[in-house]
Amino acid sequence: MNATTTIIPRTDALVTELSAQMADVLMRDAMACLPEQMLRRTRTAVERLCRRGDIREAQALVADQVQAWCLSGEISRHFHDCPICSAADIDGLICYVMADYDRREAVLHNRIAAAGGF
């Protein structure tokens, strides 16, 4: 009687490889706009979430990181173009647009931190 031998792959290596492949897919759009250091840090968090099976959370983290980076650029441009905000060093005041930007940025940063991002 011949016994059939089933070879079971090492699950740790398989999960690591699949997590890396999923991170590649999720990070594809982010690679066009995020700086290298932020990409590395985000990818680490995305791989960790993928390894846990939290694909939607990983996808949301990438989207939030991209939004936060783009919002940062908008804030910088607005701060230099707005006469109220550019005088904030003197008066300590910001306009309602900057207040809205600050609120949106805080929400994004809280969601990023909750997802394990930076």
26 domain residue, yes or no: yes
pLDDT of residue 85: 80
The total of structural domains in the chain comes to 1
Percentage of the chain exceeding pLDDT 90: 53
5 in any annotated domain = no
3 lies in a domain?
Answer: no
What pLDDT score was predicted for residue 49?
Answer: 92
Pick from 59-63, 106-110, 113-117: least confident: 113-117
What per-residue confidence (pLDDT) applies to 82? 87
Q: Are residues 62 and 42 in contact, defined by beta-carbon separation less than 8 angstroms?
A: yes
**Residue 6 resides in a domain:** no
pLDDT score recorded for residue 8? 63
CA torsion 18-20-21-24 (nearest 10°) is 160
Residue 38 lies inside a defined structural domain of this protein: yes
For the question of whether the overall pTM of this predicted structure is more than 0.85, the answer is no
Question: Tell me, what's the pLDDT at 2?
Answer: 63
CA end-to-end distance (rounded Å), the chain: 58
**Domain-embedded: residue 60:** yes
pLDDT digits 0-9 by tens, 88-101:
666 667 788 888 99
Is residue 2, in this structure, part of any structural domain at all?
A: no
Domain of residue 46 covers 11-114
